Structure 1
Amino acid sequence: MTAPIRSQERAYSLSIKRGWNRYVNEPDRVPPALLSTRELAALSSRARLEYEEHRSVWHANIGPIKTPQLQSVHQDLWNVLTTNRQDGDKVRPSVVIDAFPGLGKSTIATSFGRDFQHAQIDRYGALTEDGQERIPVVRIQLTDRTSRRDFNSTLCRFFNLPRYDRGNANQLGNRAADTILSCETKLIIVDDVHFLDMRRQDDRAVANHFKSLASTFPVTFLHVGVGLEARGLLAEGLGDDDEDLAQNGRRLTPLTVEAFDVKTERGRRVWRDLLLAVEKNLVLANAHQGMIADELSDELFARSTGHFASLMALIARGCDLAIKDGNERLTIDVLNRVKNDAAAEKARLDMVSAFESGRLSSRPGRQPRRRRQSLRTSA
């Protein structure tokens, strides 16, 4: 029996300080060596297991890639955080990243939080002037039916405070607030804010609690979610006639993340740059330059519909199939065997039709043309 190998996965929760710090401080992954098919065949059974473990986890964690979308949002966030240095008697405006699912908004937010924490500790040190651990960034995630007490308890849990689930909302909130001040926290990332329903009284109380913390403590809130404006977060659940009374409309700066688009030459070039960046990270024995950026560009756009999460899932699953069947390269046939998320598959047929009819192309500088091989799955 082969001895167990060490898992390459990094299992941590970003919603607790220990996990967040591990995400922030662990070094970037190192890709496995690119082996030829002959070198692969020469590996012992254990060495092959270790190699495939490394490859599988590497392909599942490519990135974050510095797309124009990520760079644009990061630039705006740095602008807000750099200027959000008001004294304690003034309110620090908050930020909302509001975008459709699968566009990488959570990755954009957490990667910014990592960069911001590094910058804070590099500038001010790991300890505050009072000798407390400096915790520049808190990252928490809402769940369905989150109450004000639940939110405060989640904050306490992040800081690993004893009895984080004991006490009422005010008691837990005071403990969290004291820790925020003593640890000089500057940024609180709140993901999945779309769980808040402004039609529910408890959820409105949580939204008002955000305002209270932002008004009382030197903290910038970064909210991340889907359809937040449509769900009434900016208007605080008030009707159209009372919308001007909503403080959030003046205190929240909305940002968004756009899907990739190949209807313009600029969009096609951005898409190709993304595929080139992904291609450089693939560890397949028979991969070659242009394998996905040239040969599979239309296919990948049709299968992902320009959504980053759908694209990366398709790439990782395709690599897994290419490794297991021994071909060690991505092809149309391999992609056709991959099952992707429901939303991407639903939009796939219309997109494929546009590419095959010549109405659309994802390749810059080229006129749309019909491919010799159908993009449609043979299944």
Structure 2
Amino acid sequence: MIEIATKEGWREHVDTAYERPAPVTSEELRAMSFGDRALYNQGRAQYSQAGAFVRTPQFEAFQRAVRDRVMLNAYRRVGKLGLILSGEPGQGKTTSLVEIGRAHERRRRDTGHPAAGPGMLPVVYVAVPAQCSAKALMHEFARFLGLPVLGRMTYGDLLEAVSNALRRCSTELVLVDDVHHLDLKYRQNVEASDMLKQLSERCGGTFVYAGIAVEGTGLLDGSRGGQIGKRFEVHVALPFPLISTAEKARWGDLLLAMESSLCLAEQRPGSILSAAPTLHALTGGEIGLLKDLLQFAALSAMDDGTEKLDAAAFERDLARRQTAATLHTSKPRRSRTPASAA
């Protein structure tokens, strides 16, 4: 497993590309040896899980916003602009954040940009630990950058070392994940929030935050939050609705892209659309749940040799859930006999 919260792990993640396996027929699959078929199935699972990325309209809007701010911040000395990606669990926030950074770094490499030259780090990724102090968060930056942290180093020493390293490495994009852990009800988290602002002003990078329901953490409230709110644009990752014709079309496009990524030999392209309402009911339109559901279904299809998604199985799963929900809501509550009446 690649650990992307270090520069070595991040570089490996950016370097790694999982190619789509060559298509084969069911007959060719059956003719394979057990070992060859297992390797081929592993390649398909790896590609659908880590190699294929579905670009949704929400993601493309967010990526454009990041590109614009990277461009503008290169010429701003103070008041750097940033972005916040907020939403409930299962909306693909971390996946989107990491893909934004990966695509940016690969683009810099492809164009020979100085920020991607030898010894440079165009992108830095840090995840905020729970109940994080300013110094602990600074340690996470130092860990990514590979900076030595001595016991006698003060917060000021760490801030100076990290900001200098980010400038020397020409870092353009600083990705801060799990920012909901900076709940400003706790003083140490307030200090960590202030640290991010100081770091943003001392280096040239564009800061992009991602977290669960960031609007409710206090990060955008009060005098501190007022500054962040003016400079950071909030994008909210939402489930896919299924009401209007346009919304149904977007849901269908998502299903088609995911269907293709599964690489099933007998899956007729577009046949997944017949299960569109059922899949939406099962997942609530959440992209993370949909991806998991389809990948487990694809693994089952590989194992049993059918090599196609079982729409009837989705219907049965939905019926079971609806029955369970009905039984739960209709189950009578036990009445308690008062002790005095016993």
* TM-score (normalised: structure 2): 0.86
Alignment-derived partner of residue 327 in structure 1:
306
Query: Which of the pair is proportionally richer in helix?
Result: 2
- Do residues 26 (structure 1) and 19 (structure 2) align? no
Residue by residue over 1:86-142, the C-alpha shift from the partner in whole angstroms, topping out at 9 and shown as x without a partner, is 343x221221111222112222222111222234443533676xxx61111101101
Alignment-derived partner of residue 105 in structure 1:
93
Choose between structure 1 and 2 for higher RCO, CA contacts under 8 A separated by at least 6 residues: 2
1:61 to 46, 50, 59: 50
**Equivalent-residue separation in structure 2 for 1:159 and 1:229 (angstroms):** 29
Alignment-derived partner of residue 118 in structure 1:
106
User: Is there any run of 5+ residues in structure 2 with no aligned partner, and where?
Assistant: 327-342
Amino acid corresponding to residue 323 of structure 1 in structure 2? M
Residue by residue over 1:191-237, the C-alpha shift from the partner in whole angstroms, topping out at 9 and shown as x without a partner, is 000011101000000001111112222222101011111111011xx
1:85 to 67, 74, 98: 74
**Equivalent-residue separation in structure 2 for 1:160 and 1:337 (angstroms):** 51
- 8 Å CA contact 1:103–1:257 kept in 2: the answer is yes
**Equivalent-residue separation in structure 1 for 2:14 and 2:116 (angstroms):** 17
1:256 to 236, 242, 255: 236
**Equivalent-residue separation in structure 2 for 1:296 and 1:313 (angstroms):** 16
- Do residues 285 (structure 1) and 280 (structure 2) align? no
**Equivalent-residue separation in structure 2 for 1:100 and 1:127 (angstroms):** 33
186-195 vs 208-217, which deviates more?
208-217
* TM-score (normalised: structure 1): 0.78
2:2 to 7, 12, 15: 12
Identity %: 25
- Do residues 185 (structure 1) and 175 (structure 2) align? no
1:296 to 239, 256, 275: 275
Alignment of 1:169-318 (within 5 A): 169-235=155-221, 238=222, 246-293=226-273, 295-318=274-297
Matched position secondary structure for 2:74: coil
**Equivalent-residue separation in structure 2 for 1:191 and 1:56 (angstroms):** 26
1:159 to 125, 145, 149: 145
**Equivalent-residue separation in structure 2 for 1:323 and 1:214 (angstroms):** 48
CA gap of 1:203–1:51, structure 2 versus 1, over 3 A, is same
CA gap of 1:277–1:165, structure 2 versus 1, over 3 A, is farther
**Equivalent-residue separation in structure 2 for 1:126 and 1:262 (angstroms):** 42
Alignment-derived partner of residue 76 in structure 1:
65
Matched position secondary structure for 1:79: helix
In the comparison of the two structures, how many residue pairs are matched?
A: 322
- 8 Å CA contact 1:322–1:334 kept in 2: the answer is no
**Equivalent-residue separation in structure 2 for 1:127 and 1:290 (angstroms):** 40
CA gap of 1:171–1:68, structure 2 versus 1, over 3 A, is same
- 8 Å CA contact 2:85–2:235 kept in 1: the answer is yes
User: Is there any run of 5+ residues in structure 1 with no aligned partner, and where?
Assistant: 1-10, 339-344, 354-379
CA gap of 1:163–1:230, structure 2 versus 1, over 3 A, is closer
Q: CA RMSD in A?
A: 2.5
- 8 Å CA contact 1:262–1:271 kept in 2: the answer is yes
**Equivalent-residue separation in structure 2 for 1:245 and 1:62 (angstroms):** 37
**Equivalent-residue separation in structure 1 for 2:37 and 2:251 (angstroms):** 34
**How much does 1:166 deviate?**
6.9
Alignment-derived partner of residue 342 in structure 1:
none
**How much does 1:178 deviate?**
1.4
**Equivalent-residue separation in structure 2 for 1:48 and 1:142 (angstroms):** 41
110-119 vs 209-218, which deviates more?
110-119
**Equivalent-residue separation in structure 1 for 2:302 and 2:296 (angstroms):** 10
**How much does 1:310 deviate?**
0.5
